[in-house]
Amino acid sequence: MTEDMDKGNLIFKIEVFINSSILRSWKDSIIVLLSTKALLPWSEELKVVGRCIDAIASKTSVDPANVSWSYSYNKKGVACTEIIESAGKTSVAPKDWWVEDLCELDVDLYKRVMVAIKSKGRMSPDLIGEALKAYAVRWLPDSYDALVADDYMRRNQCLVETIIWLLPSDKSSGCSCRFLLKLLKVAILVGSGDHVKEELMRRISFQLHKASVKDLLLPAASPSEGMHDVRLVHNLVQRFVARTALSHNGDFVEKSDEKMIELNFEQESTLALGELVDGYLSEVAADPDLEFSTFVELATAVPEAARPVHDGLYYAVDAYIKVCSMHLMNLNLLNGCCQYFLLYDE
């Protein structure tokens, strides 16, 4: 099989075939990589896995205008010419042409491919984030029962922790706040470690004002704490406010256009935060297990500038008082709600 016996033997021919055919083809590189799992550890020892990963990673960074292979591996039965050409014109592949195909890989291979892509330094954080979101949608179940099922919980934990580990290094870009909050929700449900949740909370705190009330309805760690983890949301709000205050206290002696734009953005984000918190309080007020002190702590966590009007807060307090009275809570608690409402009105 080697060149010691005769020139052009099997090993040489295989090597030529791999280099000239498989590694030059996007589709074949993925197919071969998928097949290597059944041939471990030989496929690793022969460096087939590593070479496929490197070939795939290199192709993802090619200018989409120069993409000439079938960039839609998952479109079964569609010819290459039908994908690339439309009405006689060359159809340029979208920037994310490679994202869907990589979702076919299992989590271990996907992690290695994404690490290789990121290490080349040519992929934008937004595209990395888009790829991770597509992978999460492909593999993480939507239903609570499927997510925490005994047979799949460890697998789902591995999936979400891998996705979090692969997040772009730039914490303020690459992934939407909604996606990060969904990952946090999954991490809570599957029992991921505190360091995993801490990483997500740090990232979310950069863009919390972009979240919706629905995004913030995170499950409580224990049923005794109520339906929603209000304390965790309070922690996120505190981080966001502290970050904004730190930025606001910077040196703004020279009121350049750039710095004024930055100040306007901070004001808009602060107003959005106030509206978000009041909406969230109105939603969680229906939880009979929500403690009054927890309600007040979150309500007062936002700066005064976040509430030019207090209609949203009034509605939240009113909803909470109604729940207190409906569940026949003690009068001291009800009086406390009323006193807080009156004090804030001043």
| Last-in-domain residue among 34, 63, 92 | 63
- Same domain membership, residue 143 and residue 49: no
pLDDT at 332: 53
pLDDT at 321: 82
- Same domain membership, residue 338 and residue 274: yes
Structural domains in the chain (count): 3
pLDDT in tens, the chain (346 residues): 555 655 666 677 777 777 767 788 888 899 999 999 888 898 888 888 999 999 999 988 887 777 754 444 555 544 443 333 333 445 667 888 899 999 999 999 999 999 999 998 888 999 999 999 999 999 998 888 888 888 888 999 999 999 999 999 876 667 899 999 999 999 999 988 999 999 999 999 999 999 999 999 998 877 777 789 999 999 999 999 998 876 655 544 455 555 544 556 578 888 999 999 999 999 998 888 888 889 889 999 998 888 888 888 888 888 888 877 665 554 455 555 555 554 555 5
The burial of 13, by beta-carbon neighbours within 10 Å (0-12 exposed, 13-18 middle, 19 or more buried), is given as exposed
In a domain, 197, yes or no: yes
Closest CA to 139 of 119, 111, 117: 111
In one letter, which amino acid is 258? E
- Same domain membership, residue 336 and residue 241: yes
Closest CA to 188 of 200, 176, 179: 200
pLDDT at 15: 72
- Same domain membership, residue 132 and residue 56: no
Domain limits at 59? Answer: 1-63
In a domain, 255, yes or no: no
Closest CA to 29 of 116, 140, 96: 116
pLDDT at 322: 81
In a domain, 283, yes or no: yes
- Same domain membership, residue 174 and residue 240: no
- Same domain membership, residue 239 and residue 188: no
In a domain, 73, yes or no: no
3-state secondary structure of 89: strand
pLDDT at 27: 86
